[in-house]
Amino acid sequence: MAGASPVRKIQRAPWLAWVVGGLVVVLAACTSAPSTELPPSVRAVRLLEEGHCGACHQIPGVPGATGDIGPDLCEVAARYARGEITVTDIMADIIQPNRRVHEGYLDDIMPNDYGERFSTEELRLMAEYLARLPCVGATPTATPSLGGG
């Protein structure tokens, strides 16, 4: 048996096949992902996990994000879909949660240091993910009295 057989190398890292396979699938579903980086949606989910947003928010696609201390972030996606807010607005809501407190929820609960913990690019990734949450088509978007802002 030759020590440097390529077969042995592959056997040493069977997880690599999963990672590469998964990436190919996700990249195929994503039209403009850079080839060297993880797709934006995957990075966004990781950032949202890192920020523990799911402790307080329901966020589809983010494992364990079933919190109900803050609003269901599907509502953010619904407002975005209706053209009421932009990605920049969502970024601002993450950086300065108290700038426009969501009706029916307490202020001063959401951490206000995300602007320091995440780069602008990371905040944008998260905001874009929230704007496009796949719940808009699935749930009725009739949320009275949200427009006032």
In the numeric block, the tokens 């402790």 are attached to: 55
Which residues partner with 58 through β-bridges? 66
104 φ, ψ to 5°?
90, -5
The CA–CA distances, whole Å, from 101 to 73, 97, 106, 107 equal 14, 7, 7, 6
115 binds ligand HEC (CB under 6 A): no
DSSP-derived letter for residue 102 is P
CB of 110: closest distance to ligand HEC in angstroms? Answer: 3
Two tokens, residue 148: 């006032």
Q: Which stretch binds ligand HEC (CB under 6 A): 24-32, 37-45, 55-63, 132-140?
A: 55-63
Residue 114 found at the interface with ligand HEC (CB under 6 A): yes
**Distance from C-alpha of 142 to C-alpha of 122, rounded to nearest angstrom:** 30
Q: Confirm or reject binding of residue 105 to ligand HEC (CB under 6 A).
A: yes
106 makes contact with ligand HEC (CB under 6 A): yes
Q: Which is nearer to ligand HEC, 27 or 41 (CB)?
A: 41
Give the nearer residue to ligand HEC in terms of CB position, either 33 or 130.
130
* Chain positions contacting ligand HEC, by CB under 6 A: 48, 51-53, 55-57, 69-71, 75-76, 90, 93-94, 97-98, 101-102, 105-107, 109-111, 114, 126, 130
